Structure 1
């Protein structure tokens, strides 16, 4: 990314909260990277400046490389226009630094990917439309998916790159629906535009794998001129603040797709498979989670200890399993709504359950949408990492409006690596913090457990 002016703030003051709460996300199609890339052998990512590729499509690039798709990244400018008022770094030095940063970032994101530096003037892409079209066309082949900035992203270079990429794809396909696909990613739009400006019907969300999420974060860190101050001097400030970076840390890529490019949604059977795996855990007994172990008992005590109030009117326990925590929460609440996807788990939970607990079967995020009323407290204990990044986003979007003013959101998770599930505890807590960080009230970190509490005031 490059800055042509120096606005006092580059990100929107309402941050991710204004996006996650928009209920139109529930209408958006989703896919995993393999579903998106099935029709293609190559991925060509067009970026106006070094770092745009990480900000707009980092996890997608990493997953494409892991799937064996040939990845090429076309960096149209060297980003030399960054920090125009810097007293310590010249334009030529900035160009050299950012070229090197782009190469290093791609070596982390997609080892073996081809990086092409077009060397066009930073801030001058709109005046060089035909040149950019030619640069893109030079890298096209059959069965290539082109991913470029959106034409309405809000930055002149980004918009120009998107228009040129679209023209190149149209020329390659000859107007007859060829094998070259096109999708656009978003960078500045998340900060400079409104949800009502987004063509929701064209969106496709592509979940990132846990490995891709980790590599995308490391790759962004390689863009040191953008994510850290050049020096303490005025004009050398950090450009990519945490607020600016937040959309890139969602764990999924949001694309605007052209006709014929979007694949069908992931098969619904995948959800059934996940529920069946939870059900199968009860075939050998009623307590697959060893709820009386020291770890589980201590975790419940920690959960109760971090709650800000002595008593609550209405509590949601999302992912209640056999209901042991639900029962403990009932001792602090007038009413508890306990939700789980597994019927065998709920059958165990209903035995000797307090009358003040209502048991609901369903999966997040959909089940949250169907809950009536508001809650003073919502607890997600070792459940969120079973969700994909987009499912977690949707769950947050459904939960936040159902919290009463000042209501608490509590996340409790195992801190160690997970296997064969979408996320792990640290990834969950990082993603939620990007949305809810302004409301943080308690953070507890120890060897085995992560606990984060938020008091949602707006």
Structure 2
């Protein structure tokens, strides 16, 4: 739990500006038809996503803003403003602020108690479900719909609860969800930001101006309510500078912050002979053939396969490898794989990565249909393992549709992989159902270049 006070000076914006990672975050794809901005309190939507709202609205897409509480608890020690007075004032501020960036936006005020989202979680979930179901119906089942909400790691309880509920609802409906940090910029240092899972929107001058006008509407937060103690501004000038910058940052969120436990896979293999249809589905056979055809070297050297399952890909890799080390966390899967692929050049290991990792170095790493089982933190550690094992070639392939049981989506996994420093993407194959990419150490050459054809 992060402990901070809004009265603290906080981390200066100059510290963030001097850190190159803020400027290197990949650009957010805003090719969306509908945007839902969820705010725990009035002004969250403006600070975190006003520029995004302006961009989407200007493109003719629909913007919906959902404000969970009225933020009536912002000045608990005020002797001049009652909670009811603050509640009414802050609702009016949201209306005026949103008009500056998205004049046609639809606003929903859920009127839940400030600092009480945890206790009112069920009501919040019910009310937000109605909004999302309406938006999902109007956007062809969620395609082209993006939901942004306060980031789960922001350090404020209402922000965390809002993020958790939004993540759960979006996962159930197959809707993409991103978190926008607010207080992170105040209490954190650059090394505490999950940069690998971040995307940013670079604002135009017009969008920055509109956002500034929207921020200025939140008078109860940026100005003192009076000269009396307890009426100090919540958003002092040093804090506001974080939201005057040219980039809005968003972080990939998920329904679960933990990696999928090993028992999950044991149960699948106990209940099903071929749980994912590796043997029976044309989809799986075709995907394996595409994966093997995408590998840019005829000989793969020492291969590490992370997540071998029952050994179907292992058998194909063996034909082009000197040795194959195949890992899986499920003993039942490894047992089937050992029976399928027999030979001194293949080694099977029951191991839970990234905590457990085989000894030795490898030339090629295969990461197929496993990355989305890891929490963002564990995925970062797995990527560090891959980067330090000596490999010069990484092939990754993942299912793209959201699954409520998984902490991440396949697309999120590949966004993290693309941020690896010192690697080039030499093959990129994307379908509605899966994404496959090959990464090679920089500077990488194409197959034709290596063979003198280009």
Report the TM-score when normalising by structure 1.
Answer: 0.51
> Residues 285-296 of structure 1: matches in 2 within 5 Å?
none
Provide the C-alpha distance between the structure 2 equivalents of 1:163 and 1:129, rounded to a whole number of angstroms. 10
Partner SS state of residue 139, structure 1: helix
Provide the C-alpha distance between the structure 2 equivalents of 1:113 and 1:66, rounded to a whole number of angstroms. 11
Provide the C-alpha distance between the structure 2 equivalents of 1:190 and 1:99, rounded to a whole number of angstroms. 25
Deviation at 1:240, TM superposition (A): 1.0
Match of 2:26 in 1: 29
Provide the C-alpha distance between the structure 1 equivalents of 2:44 and 2:52, rounded to a whole number of angstroms. 13
Matched, 1:18 2:11: no
Provide the C-alpha distance between the structure 1 equivalents of 2:214 and 2:50, rounded to a whole number of angstroms. 8
Partner SS state of residue 225, structure 1: helix
Provide the C-alpha distance between the structure 2 equivalents of 1:233 and 1:139, rounded to a whole number of angstroms. 40
Q: Which runs of 4+ in 1 moved over 4 A?
A: none
Match of 2:212 in 1: 217
Match of 1:9 in 2: 7
Matched, 1:41 2:33: yes
Cα pair distance change 1:221/1:157, threshold 3 Å = same
Match of 2:161 in 1: 160
Unaligned runs of 5+ in 2: 137-141, 255-454
- Deviation per CA, 1:265-286: give whole Å up to 9, x if none: xxxxxxxxxxxxxxxxxxxxxx
Report the TM-score when normalising by structure 2.
Answer: 0.51
- Deviation per CA, 1:368-419: give whole Å up to 9, x if none: xxxxxxxxxxxxxxxxxxxxxxxxxxxxxxxxxxxxxxxxxxxxxxxxxxxx
Cα pair distance change 1:8/1:192, threshold 3 Å = closer
Q: 46-55 or 238-247: which moved more?
A: 238-247
Deviation at 1:26, TM superposition (A): 5.4
Cα pair distance change 1:127/1:194, threshold 3 Å = farther
> Residues 306-325 of structure 1: matches in 2 within 5 Å?
none
Provide the C-alpha distance between the structure 1 equivalents of 2:243 and 2:16, rounded to a whole number of angstroms. 13
Partner SS state of residue 30, structure 1: coil
- Deviation per CA, 1:74-115: give whole Å up to 9, x if none: 000001101111111111111111111111111122101011
Provide the C-alpha distance between the structure 1 equivalents of 2:6 and 2:35, rounded to a whole number of angstroms. 36
Provide the C-alpha distance between the structure 1 equivalents of 2:202 and 2:189, rounded to a whole number of angstroms. 23
Provide the C-alpha distance between the structure 1 equivalents of 2:124 and 2:167, rounded to a whole number of angstroms. 11
Provide the C-alpha distance between the structure 2 equivalents of 1:256 and 1:64, rounded to a whole number of angstroms. 18
Provide the C-alpha distance between the structure 1 equivalents of 2:193 and 2:122, rounded to a whole number of angstroms. 27
Matched, 1:227 2:228: no
Match of 2:151 in 1: 150
Cα pair distance change 1:123/1:200, threshold 3 Å = same
Provide the C-alpha distance between the structure 2 equivalents of 1:255 and 1:227, rounded to a whole number of angstroms. 23
Contact preservation (8 Å) 1:29, 1:205:
yes
Provide the C-alpha distance between the structure 2 equivalents of 1:258 and 1:164, rounded to a whole number of angstroms. 11
Unaligned runs of 5+ in 1: 174-179, 260-458
Deviation at 1:154, TM superposition (A): 0.6
**Greater RCO, 1 or 2 (C-alpha within 8 Å, sep 6+):** 1
Contact preservation (8 Å) 1:133, 1:167:
no
Deviation at 1:29, TM superposition (A): 1.0
Match of 2:122 in 1: 130
Provide the C-alpha distance between the structure 1 equivalents of 2:154 and 2:172, rounded to a whole number of angstroms. 23
Cα pair distance change 1:157/1:10, threshold 3 Å = farther
The alignment yields a C-alpha RMSD, in angstroms, of: 1.8
Match of 1:115 in 2: 107
Provide the C-alpha distance between the structure 1 equivalents of 2:25 and 2:191, rounded to a whole number of angstroms. 14
Q: 183-192 or 230-239: which moved more?
A: 230-239
Contact preservation (8 Å) 1:59, 1:251:
no
Match of 1:237 in 2: 232
The number of aligned residues is 243
- Deviation per CA, 1:193-220: give whole Å up to 9, x if none: 2322211111111111222111110111
Match of 2:199 in 1: 204
Partner SS state of residue 128, structure 2: helix
